[in-house]
């Protein structure tokens, strides 16, 4: 791999996400076959690709929900999941303690296709739970902050509802507020609107658009080409575990260089 053992201090120029030569295998199934990707601070990266191309796996690797098979992932300059130890001129990887992994994850927000709200808690407590359990905030502080975040996603009056009492779009907005409650420096979205009825997609995309405008670094897997065109700084097209092409939305969506990208876009547009 590259020769950067001593983790560089996160300089202002360091990209928020650096993925180098990422491989992921599930048993014999080679899902990611050498992915290289950089997401600059404050930018929005939209990942497109056909089903099974490894988009979800890529996001899950960044958040350490999957153990990677090869390569390196850095977030804010910090190597994820491992520690590099150089001894006698050889570099070895040591796995990080689960506590440290949990801390690394707490700086990355993740929004799932199926929301995964905690059904036994109200919307407010869904948002307040992690700050209490992870950050050690008092319940009342966390609730006050949660109320602000619910307000920000337009759900101030739904604070006392349980997830089952909310529409899909409202649930997904609570899920976004829940992720924001940990003050993440990076947000990952895995098809956040795919489980929604068409008339509810807009409200979730609007929240995401606001978030992007506020300067949040985001990686978004989506099939919403309109959103990609409008909000993305870079668009990445993946197929069969590799990045086929990447560039600005104008380049990738407007003038795709590869046949596979073109036929995919022909299908979704």
Partner 1 sequence: MTGRTPGGDAAGAPGDDPVPDRIHARPVPRPGRWVSAVVLLVLAAMAVNALLTNEKFRWDVVWLYFRDVTVVRGVGWTLVLTFGSMLIAIVLAVLLAIMRRSDNPVMKAVSWGYIWFFRGTPIYTQLVFWGLISVLYPRLSLGIPFGPEFFEFRTADLFTAFVCALIGLSLNEAAYLAEIVRAGLGSVDPGQTEAAKALGMKDGKILTRIVLPQAMRVIVPPTGNETISMLKTTSLVLAVPFTLDLQYSTNAIGNRLFLPIPLLMVAAIWYLLITSVLMVGQHYVERYYGRGFGTQTSGGRRGRGPGGRGRRPGKQDLIAASGTTKDDPFLEVTP
Ligand X SMILES: Nc1ncnc2c1ncn2[C@@H]1O[C@H](COP(=O)(O)OP(=O)(O)OP(=O)(O)O)[C@@H](O)[C@H]1O
- The residue ranges that bind ligand X (CB under 6 A) are 26, 29, 31, 49, 51-57
Cβ neighbors of 83 (< 8 A, separation 6 or more) are 93, 94, 95, 96
Is residue 182 near partner 1 by the rule CB under 8 A? yes
Query: What whole-number distance in Å separates Cα of residue 114 and Cα of residue 228?
Result: 21
| C-beta contacts of 4-12 below 8 A and 24+ residues apart | 5/84, 5/86, 5/91, 6/84, 7/74, 7/77, 7/78, 7/79, 7/84, 8/77, 9/77, 10/76, 10/77, 10/78, 11/77, 12/41
The encoded tokens of residue 240 equal 């069969």
Is residue 222 near Mg ion by the rule CB under 5 A? no
* Number of residues located near partner 1, criterion CB under 8 A: 57
Minimum CB distance to ligand X smaller for 49 or for 192: 49
Residues 86-115 that bind partner 1 (CB under 8 A): 98-99, 102-110, 112, 114-115
**Candidate list 16, 58, 130, 244; residue touching partner 1; CB under 8 A:** 130
Is residue 167 near partner 1 by the rule CB under 8 A? yes
Minimum CB distance to Mg ion smaller for 56 or for 217: 56
Residues 44-83 that bind Mg ion (CB under 5 A): 56
- Compute CA distances 206 → 73, 119, 195, 209, 230, whole Å: 30, 24, 16, 5, 11
Is residue 173 near partner 1 by the rule CB under 8 A? yes
Is residue 169 near partner 1 by the rule CB under 8 A? yes
Taken as a whole, the chain contains a residue count of 269
Q: How far is the CB of 118 from partner 1 (least distance, A)?
A: 6
Is residue 156 near partner 1 by the rule CB under 8 A? yes
Cβ neighbors of 53 (< 8 A, separation 6 or more) are 238, 239, 240, 241
Contact positions toward partner 1, by CB under 8 A? 63, 65, 98-99, 102-110, 112, 114-122, 129-130, 133-134, 153-157, 160-171, 173, 175, 178-179, 182, 195, 197, 199-200, 203, 206-207, 210
Contact positions toward Mg ion, by CB under 5 A? 56
């Amino acid at each position: 791999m590259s020769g950067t053992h001593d983790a560089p201090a996160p300089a202002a120029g360091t990209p928020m996400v650096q993925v180098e030569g990422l491989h992921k295998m599930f048993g014999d199934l080679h899902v990611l076959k050498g992915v290289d990707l950089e997401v600059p601070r404050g930018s929005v990266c939209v990942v497109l690709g056909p089903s099974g191309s490894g988009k979800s796996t890529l996001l899950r690797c960044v958040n350490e929900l999957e153990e990677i098979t090869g390569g390196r992932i850095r977030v804010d300059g910090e190597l994820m999941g491992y520690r590099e130890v150089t001894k006698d001129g050889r570099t070895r990887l040591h796995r990080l303690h689960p506590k440290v992994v949990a801390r690394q994850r707490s700086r990355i927000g993740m929004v799932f296709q199926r929301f995964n709200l905690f059904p036994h808690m109200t919307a407010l407590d869904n948002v307040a739970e992690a700050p209490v359990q992870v950050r050690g905030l008092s319940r009342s502080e966390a609730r006050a902050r949660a109320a602000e975040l619910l307000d920000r996603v337009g759900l101030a009056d739904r604070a006392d509802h349980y997830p089952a009492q909310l529409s899909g779009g409202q649930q997904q907005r609570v899920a976004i507020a829940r992720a924001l409650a940990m003050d993440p420096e990076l947000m990952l979205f895995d098809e956040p609107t795919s489980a929604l009825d068409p008339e509810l997609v807009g409200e979730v995309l609007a929240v995401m658009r606001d978030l992007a405008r506020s300067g949040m670094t985001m990686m978004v897997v989506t099939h919403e080409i309109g959103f990609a065109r409008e909000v993305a700084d870079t668009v990445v097209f993946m197929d069969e575990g590799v990045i086929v092409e990447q560039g600005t939305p104008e380049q990738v969506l407007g003038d795709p260089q590869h046949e596979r990208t073109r036929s995919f876009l022909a299908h979704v547009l």
